[in-house]
Amino acid sequence: MKLEDRPFNHTFSTSIIQMAISLINFSGVSFRSVSKIFLVMKITFNLNIRIPSHTTVLNWVKKQGIANFRDKDFFENEKWILIIDESIQFGNKKLLAVIAVSASKQNLGRALNYKDLVPVILKSSESWKADEIAVEIKAHFNLDQILYVVSDNGNNLKSSYDKLGLKHIEDVGHKFSWIIKEVYEKQTDFEIYTKQLSSMRAKLSMSKYSHIIPPNQRIISRFMNLTPLFKWGNKMIDLLEKNKLNKEEREKVEFVLVKKEFIQQTYNLLLLLNQIQKILKTKGFSIVSTNKCRKLLKKSNCEKGKKVQIMINQYFEETLQKMENGKTILCSSDILESCFGKYKSVVKANKTVGITDLCLCISTLLGENDFKSTEEAMYKIKTTQIKEWKHKNIGETLFDKRNRFYKKVG
């Protein structure tokens, strides 16, 4: 690497820094593994490069993350859409995340990607009340610059939008999950089927029949991902009817034949809903896209399908009323869920530390992150600014609290 490639007062080149950050954000490797990857590259390709330590890489990620935030003035020249969500509980705190999307990106004809987003807020708290969320939003935006907010239907989030007079577009994924839950949760066939799958996993996961057990069922938000459970059931029915299983395997799964009609109808309905969600998430929410979705909905003629159809059409009507002049709008917060997923993969090795300034890996993902922006981030952001950001937005971590507690021992 050329010496001139280095940011001012830095030992490593911008190219090395960019690659290290990318390995964390997009390859899912740990900070220590980044150093090992560079070592392997050095040995394999006989490169004349220094190897960054894991703490150096950690510092780079935090610097880039802080540099990607923008001042309030940045948002005043155009209209913005906010996507807001809270993370699941990490230790004793939740992370509030707010990202902004330019109104010009409502009709891209594709789902949003990380480059389309601007990080606004990453802040932890033991609980997020509506008033607290409203204060954070007002601190970063003139409210007339916000077209609408996309999020789930959390009571605290909704209440904060009401207080600020902001228009709320309910995330299509969470809405469809809620609809499925309303139709199926207390339905007898559903309860029996899911209990049978759970029992089968418990009994056979460590046996010689482990190859036929159904996929694990999510505990949190389980109605958002039921398709694999019913795909498994549909496959077992097919294998049984084609006589592709031996006697022992058949005995383990033949309970699905009793629920054949229910499993197949539900599976087909879930596939249909997934198809509709894909249209809305990629093409946006518009009169054209919803009309296409309504036609697809009519294909489900079963009793539960008709209930789902009524509820989805109601969601369509309520959302269409919030649109201005028939414009295409965003209706998915999946991109923020993806950011949380990246963060969870970074901290998965030690969740007991709680929320730390490592959450800056979320903002590091967002924006262009080109050569120039990385070079400027390394030069402009100082180590003291990382500490200041942590004090303001994270406060005392669970790790800090635990260490302070243990010091009482002496």
CA 184 and chain centroid, separation: 25
- Rg (C-alpha) for the chain, rounded Å, is 25
- Report residue 178's pLDDT band, with 50, 70 and 90 as the boundaries: very high
Determine the pLDDT at residue 144.
Answer: 92
- Cβ atoms < 10 Å from Cβ of 185: 12
Contact between residue 385 and residue 66 where contact means Cβ atoms under 8 Å apart: yes
How many Å separate Cα 235 from the centre of its chain? 29
- Whether the per-residue pLDDT at 325 is higher than 90: the answer is no
Is pLDDT of 5 > 80? Answer: no
Determine the pLDDT at residue 52: 94
What is the band of 20 on the pLDDT scale with cuts at 50, 70, 90? very high
Average pLDDT of the residues in 218-241:
88
- Could you give the percent of the chain with pLDDT greater than 90? 67
Reported confidence tier of residue 118, pLDDT bands at 50, 70, 90 = very high
Q: What is the pLDDT of residue 177?
A: 94
Let me know: does 367 contact 68? Beta carbons within 8 Å.
yes
DSSP-derived 3-state class of residue 53:
coil
Is the pLDDT confidence value at 404 over 80?
A: no
> How much is the average pLDDT of 176-194?
93
pLDDT digit string, tens, across residues 241-286: 999 999 999 999 999 999 999 999 999 999 999 999 999 999 999 9
Coil, helix or strand at residue 155: helix
| Angle subtended at Cα 228 by Cα 222 and Cα 229, rounded to the nearest 5 degrees | 70
Token pair for 55: 């703490």
Q: What pLDDT was estimated at residue 2?
A: 47
pLDDT score recorded for residue 259: 94
- Mean pLDDT computed over 35-60: 93
The predicted structure's pLDDT at residue 300? 87
Give the residue, 37 or 396, on which the prediction is more confident.
Answer: 37
Residue 8: the pLDDT is 75
Structure confidence at residue 239 (pLDDT): 96
Question: pLDDT category, 90, cuts 50, 70, 90?
Answer: low
Q: Which of 78-92, 122-136, 273-287, 329-343 has the lowest mean pLDDT?
A: 78-92
Let me know if 221 is exposed, middle or buried by CB neighbors in 10 A (0-12, 13-18, 19+): middle
Q: For residue 364, give both structure tokens.
A: 């590091």
Average pLDDT, the chain: 89
Give the position of tokens 């159904």: 214
Output the pLDDT for position 1: 42
Q: Do residues 88 and 117 touch, judged by C-beta distance below 8 A?
A: no
Predicted pLDDT of residue 350: 61
Bridge pairing between strands 80-86 and 94-102? antiparallel
DSSP letters for 293-345: HHHHHTT--SHHHHHHHHHHHHHHHHHHTT-STT--B----HHHHHHHHHHHH
Judged against a pLDDT cut of 80, whether residue 324 lies above it is answered with no
Q: Is a pLDDT exceeding 80 seen at residue 89?
A: no
At 317 the pLDDT is 94
pTM: 0.90
Q: How many residues does the chain have?
A: 410
23, two tokens: 């390995």
In the chain, domain spans: 176-320
Percent of the chain scored above 70 by pLDDT?
A: 94
What's the rounded Cα separation, in Å, for the pair 224 and 84?
18
d(CA 221, CA 89): 14
Query: Would you place residue 401 in the very low, low, confident or very high pLDDT band (cuts 50, 70, 90)?
Result: confident
Model confidence over 284-322: pLDDT tens digits?
999 999 999 999 999 888 899 999 999 999 999 999 998
Burial class (CB in 10 A: 0-12, 13-18, 19+), 121: buried
Q: What is the pLDDT of residue 286?
A: 92
Spatial CA neighbour of 376 closest among 49, 63, 16: 63
Interacting residues of 184 by C-beta distance below 8 A, sequence separation 6+:
190, 223, 266, 304
Give CA–CA dist 393/350, Å, rounded: 21
Name the residue with higher pLDDT: 62 or 2: 62
Question: Which residue matches tokens 């919803």?
Answer: 290
Segment 203-220 shows an average pLDDT of 85
Average pLDDT over residues 345-365: 79
3: tokens are 């010496």
139, pLDDT greater than 70 = yes
CA distances from residue 16 to 26, 33, 114, 218, 383 in whole angstroms, order as listed = 15, 15, 21, 39, 19
Q: What is residue 91's predicted lDDT score, i.e. its pLDDT? A: 66
Least confident of 105-109, 271-275, 361-365, 380-384: 105-109
Q: What is the pLDDT of residue 344?
A: 82
pLDDT at 409: 67
Task: Give me the sheet containing 80-86, strands edge to edge.
Answer: 117-125, 94-102, 80-86, 146-151, 168-170
Q: Please state the φ and ψ torsions of residue 152, each to the nearest 5 degrees.
A: -75, -175
Q: DSSP letters along 120-154, please? A: EEEEEES---HHHHHHHHHHH--GGGEEEEEE---
Angle of helix 227-241 relative to helix 188-204, nearest 10 degrees, comes to 80
